[in-house]
A and B are shown apart, each in its own frame.
Chain A
């Protein structure tokens, strides 16, 4: 959205702004394409409604009341549509990728924690050598930390390339 559009939106009637806020709220959890399409469509509807009301010489109060009614009466249908769309999108490739990334990150964290526990156990059984006591926990912790950081960076890179690809 450019500055002109933002300024126009800020000047629009109160109910139009409420409508936009509601649409932003219930579409927040949807995947990008569906979210942006719904927001753009309602934005267009709001604009057309206001333009039509102005052309017909309708009083602003009446226009706002009609728009408020359209907003409020439609809330249950919005919620139902949003839930249905969200469930359908879980099968979508983007959501599958996000799940894979989340699983990879969790695995990396689990490996890290396991290495930490293992190194603590190992170091406690060889107290006769100070170097062993220092080396045992440091090695696995270092490997685990590198693994978690690398996985996080990979996930971030994947998301960036997904966003650019759209």
Chain B
């Protein structure tokens, strides 16, 4: 069954939520692994999200206009001796989509906590 345009699955809502929290903490952009770590530390995931699941979700969010991405400056990455990061940022449309989907996000069965909350 196709999902409605603009609807977010729990993982996507969790990614946008984590991205907005990072932004409030002063980290405007995030890369894939950072979000995977954040999902674990925030209780939205029990283990690091798999590559396929995570990057497919990020790709879908970017295609839908809820995230935008840029590649970091290669000189920066080279100076740190690591590969270039793809940095994502939550867009205004992403924040709106999250707000619209909050009511539909399931809650944790034992704590009653929403799996993604703004």
Chain B nearest Cβ from A115, distance in angstroms:
49
A79 to B33, CA, bound (A): 20
Chain A nearest Cβ from B31, distance in angstroms:
7
Using CB atoms, name the residue of chain B closest to A38: B55
Q: Which of A47, A51, A74, A79 is B51 in contact with, Cβ under 8 Å?
A: A74
Chain B, range 35-59, C-beta contacts under 8 Å to A: 36-37, 47-56, 59
Contact yes or no, B32 A81, CB < 8 A: no
A73 to B33, CA, bound (A): 16
Contact yes or no, B52 A41, CB < 8 A: no
Contacts of B32 in A (CB 8 A): 41, 44-45, 48
Chain B nearest Cβ from A158, distance in angstroms:
28
Which of A5, A23, A81 has the most chain B CB atoms inside 10 A of its CB? A81
Chain B, range 84-115, C-beta contacts under 8 Å to A: 84-86
A79 to B47, CA, bound (A): 21
Contacts of B55 in A (CB 8 A): 38, 41-42, 45, 81
Whether, in the assembled complex, B83 has its beta carbon less than 8 Å from a beta carbon of chain A, the answer is yes
Contact yes or no, A74 B53, CB < 8 A: yes
Chain B nearest Cβ from A78, distance in angstroms:
4
Chain B, range 46-75, C-beta contacts under 8 Å to A: 47-56, 59, 71
In the complex, how many residues of chain B place their beta carbon closer than 8 angstroms to a beta carbon of chain A? Answer: 23
Whether, in the assembled complex, B82 has its beta carbon less than 8 Å from a beta carbon of chain A, the answer is yes
Whether, in the assembled complex, A109 has its beta carbon less than 8 Å from a beta carbon of chain B, the answer is no
Contact yes or no, A69 B85, CB < 8 A: no
Whether, in the assembled complex, A71 has its beta carbon less than 8 Å from a beta carbon of chain B, the answer is yes
Contacts of A73 in B (CB 8 A): 50, 52-53
Assess A19 versus B52: contact at CB under 8 Å? Given A40-B84, A51-B82.
no
| Binary contact track A28-56/B, C-beta < 8 Å → 1, others 0 | 00000000011011111101110110000
Chain B nearest Cβ from A14, distance in angstroms:
16
A52 to B82, CA, bound (A): 13
A81 to B84, CA, bound (A): 22
Contact yes or no, A71 B50, CB < 8 A: yes
Using CB atoms, name the residue of chain A closest to B50: A74
A19 to B52, CA, bound (A): 11
Could you tell me which B residues sit within 8 Å of A by CB distance? 31-34, 36-37, 47-56, 59, 71, 82-86
> Could you give 16 example pairs across A and B, Cβ below 8 Å?
A40-B86, A41-B55, A43-B83, A44-B32, A47-B83, A48-B32, A49-B48, A66-B47, A71-B50, A75-B52, A76-B52, A77-B50, A79-B52, A80-B56, A81-B52, A81-B56
Could you tell me which A residues sit within 8 Å of B by CB distance? 5, 19, 23, 37-38, 40-45, 47-49, 51-52, 66, 69-81
